[in-house]
Amino acid sequence: MVSEFILVGFSTFPQHLLPAFFLFYLLMYLFTLLGNLLIMATVWSERSLHTPMYLFLCALSTSEILFTVAITPRMLVDMLSSHRSITFMDCATQMFFSFTFGFTHSFLLMIMGYDRYVAICHPLRYNMLMSTRTCARLVSWTWAGGSVMGMMVTLIVFHLTFCKSNVIHHFFCHVLSLLKLSCGNENSSVTLSVILVCVSALMGCLFLIVLSYIFIVAAILRIPSAEGRHKTFSTCVSHLTIVIVHYGFASIIYLKPKGPHSMDSNTLMATTYTVFTPFLSPIIFSLRNKELKNAIKKSFQRKFSPLSS
């Protein structure tokens, strides 16, 4: 029975550049925390933002903070450490939380797509369909769904016997890297099951998001004025951009063809994806969402502008 794993993902990095990578990822990590906390504080303090769309945005910021905290601090420590080991239990815990918050993020993007669909395609019924109670229930279901997915995948993977090696060729307890270390007749079937579960859940979310936007675009095209079409579509731009970034980066990493130096490039890209996508979210929402941007400016002006005599 393996008691600990050795993480060798960073051994493929140019060792003389690790301090520079450390500083770069540390700055992105801190900005991710501060940016998402700023969004949450602004939504909480501005009564004009107490709407379903911003409730979902707060939940999304929370999931991104927790996902980042689950992986990045240990990753930063390992970058400057000579002995990059992780215990069996810590590895299972890290995998559970990374899957839980990762799937919660995808489920929230799906719910936010549904919110935009109801707001644009059924505006007269919006307050009834997206009441505060309904929104709280939807957010609760996304967190519950993420927890179930995280627990299910973690139990399946760590039910296996690891006997080939204790060396994980990644910078954290990555599921596919762990499956390669397992032995036994059930290895291939478990690997296929995990892949099918993850892909089905993520592609199901993406399918429902795309379906929502098909109806949204159809409704927008029926608006007679160009100004009305632009104003309506602008409420979707931030969410749509995050969806493209989230699924686009994941597709590049997991669907690109394997090459002779794929391990080096995969580790670098996966590290960047893990830190960079949560880093982009607060930037996209604060820059592309005029209402949120104005609320942030107003909040800063209230706190930092000198009091008039």
Which pLDDT tens digit goes with each residue over 112-132? 999 999 999 999 999 999 988
Residues 214 and 206: beta-carbon distance below 8 Å: no
DSSP strand pairing (161-162 vs 167-168): unpaired
Give Cβ neighbours of residue 183 (< 8 Å, ≥ 6 apart): 161, 162, 163, 164
For residue 271, what pLDDT band results from cuts at 50, 70 and 90?
A: confident
Q: Are strands 85-87 and 182-183 parallel, antiparallel or unpaired?
A: unpaired
- Say how many CA atoms lie within 13 Å of 110 toward its Cβ: 21
Q: Which residue has the higher pLDDT, 187 or 5?
A: 5
Most confident of 77-86, 138-147, 174-183: 138-147
Long-range contacts of 255-263 (CB under 8 A, 24+ apart): 263/12, 263/169
User: What's the rounded mean pLDDT across residues 141-161?
Assistant: 91
**Range with the lowest mean pLDDT among 32-41, 57-66, 71-80, 252-261?**
252-261
**Can you read off the two tokens belonging to residue 106?**
């995808």
Calculate the average pLDDT of the chain: 85
Residue with tokens 């911003």: 54
Beta-carbon-side half-sphere exposure of residue 205 (alpha carbons within 13 Å): 23
pTM, rounded to two decimals: 0.88
- Residue 308: what pLDDT? 44
Q: How far is CA 168 from CA 66, 87, 163, 194, 298, in A?
A: 23, 12, 12, 18, 48
* Span 3-35, pLDDT tens digits: 788 888 777 777 777 888 889 889 999 999 999
Total length of the chain = 309
* DSSP state for residue 46 in the 8-state scheme: -
* Spatial CA neighbour of 195 closest among 243, 235, 139, 255: 255
**Among 42-51, 57-66, 122-131, 199-208, which stretch is predicted with the lowest mean pLDDT?**
42-51
